[in-house]
Amino acid sequence: MQSHEQLAWLPPGDVWLDDEGQIIQAHGGGMLIFEGRYYWYGENRDVPPGQGNVKGVSCYSSTDLVHWTHHGVVLPVVHDAPDHDLYFRKVIERPKVIYNARTRQFVMVLHIDSPDYKYARVGFAVSEAPTGPFVYLGSVRPNNSESRDMTVFQDDDGQAYLFYASEGNATMHIAKLSDDYLHVEPDYIRIFENEYREAPAVFKRRGKYFLITSGCSGWEPNAAQYAVADSILGPWEVVGNPCRGPGADKTFGAQGTFVLPVQDRNTWIFMADRWKPKQLWNSRYIWLPIHFLADDRIVIRWEGGAAERTGHGGQENA
Ligand code: DGJ
């Protein structure tokens, strides 16, 4: 159903504040839409220098994408167990949450790593409520393969998939998750072989699957690339950079993390992080609408002003 109501969100690149006036800490994040609310999960990087990488995963919620209520750190790091996956000096990145209607659990899937990024695992946590607290279950190397930047995608039939940068980040894998979303199934496909893509963000529109990735250049921005498929398990057709205009070769200084489908508004929002490597807590959010051309081609432009940015019909000609 297409609505003509306008959809707006905060200005990309500005300082975004929560309901308490604090800078929103939801980096490398993802969004869950549940019972009419948006739940935004991401890395809380509000840690003093030398006090580790991350505070844990924070959750914010909103009904309008503009006003965000902070629900606190729903998966905190631990300080007293250096071997624990969530030890405060380790890497905890790119959390994504999906709801499992069968088990009635909210399942968080996230990148767990050592400070040198050699541990390369995917972790799982569960909660009875979207606002936590999440209970950490542990991490795996899916199919005995490395898993760094990752995302999960839940299809309309409830099947969930894990996309993860593997093989030294050279090749991305896609595997099904088990029915309870807590295990990675043994079969997987390899895509972007030796292309070094990371930061996967997946969405579906009119039966087609889209996957936007970044290149691998640490915290520095690079050119995005997207691929399209009729089936999640491939084949994926690599199309090219969806970004257009000044800054397009560097994804407008940002790196993708999620695509938020606001389907009743016929709008898909590309969510990206403009990292500040020396002040990760102060990194900015860049959310831009995705425009759809004929033949399942997409375009993302810098759209900074509120009037430019508000909801659109989704289809354009050139
Ligand atoms: C790029 C990844 O996408 C980020 O999540 C983070 O792991 C940085 N690399 C670290 O350099």
Q: What percent of the chain has pLDDT over 70?
A: 94
- CB neighbour list of residue 154: distance below 8 Å, 6 or more residues apart: 98, 160, 161
Cα 224 to ligand 1 centroid, rounded to whole Å: 14
β-partners of residue 62 are 38
Element (H, E) at 307: helix 306-309
| Atom of ligand 1 minimally distant from the CA of 199 | 3
Query: What pLDDT band is residue 248 in, cutting at 50, 70 and 90?
Result: very high
**Residue pLDDT, tens place only, 181-221:** 999 999 999 999 999 999 999 999 999 999 999 999 999 99
User: Per residue in 90-104, pLDDT tens?
Assistant: 999 999 999 999 999
Q: CA angle 199-189-240, nearest 5°?
A: 45
User: Are 238 and 192 within 8 A, CB to CB?
Assistant: yes
Residues 6+ apart with CB under 8 A from 35: none
Q: Ligand 1 centre from 2 Cα, in Å?
A: 36
Distance CA 221, CA 255 (A): 6
> What domains can you pick out in the chain, each with its CATH number?
27-308 (2.115.10.20)
Instruction: Look at residue 5 in the predicted model and tell me its pLDDT.
Output: 56
To test the ligand 1 pocket, which listed residue (27, 90, 93) has its Cβ within 8 A of the most ligand atoms?
A: 93
Write the residue with the smallest CA distance to atom 9 of ligand 1: 218
Q: Residues with beta carbon inside 6 Å of ligand 1?
A: 28, 93-94, 149, 198-199, 218-219, 255
pLDDT per residue as tens digits for the range 145-163: 999 999 999 999 999 999 9
The DSSP bridge pattern shows strands 160-166 and 150-154 to be antiparallel
Ligand 1 centroid to Cα of residue 218, in Å, is 5
This prediction's pTM: 0.95
Please tell me the number of Cα atoms within 13 Å of 291 on its side-chain side.
16
In three-state secondary structure terms, 295 is: helix
- Give the position, in ligand 1's atom list, of the atom nearest the Cα of 218: 11
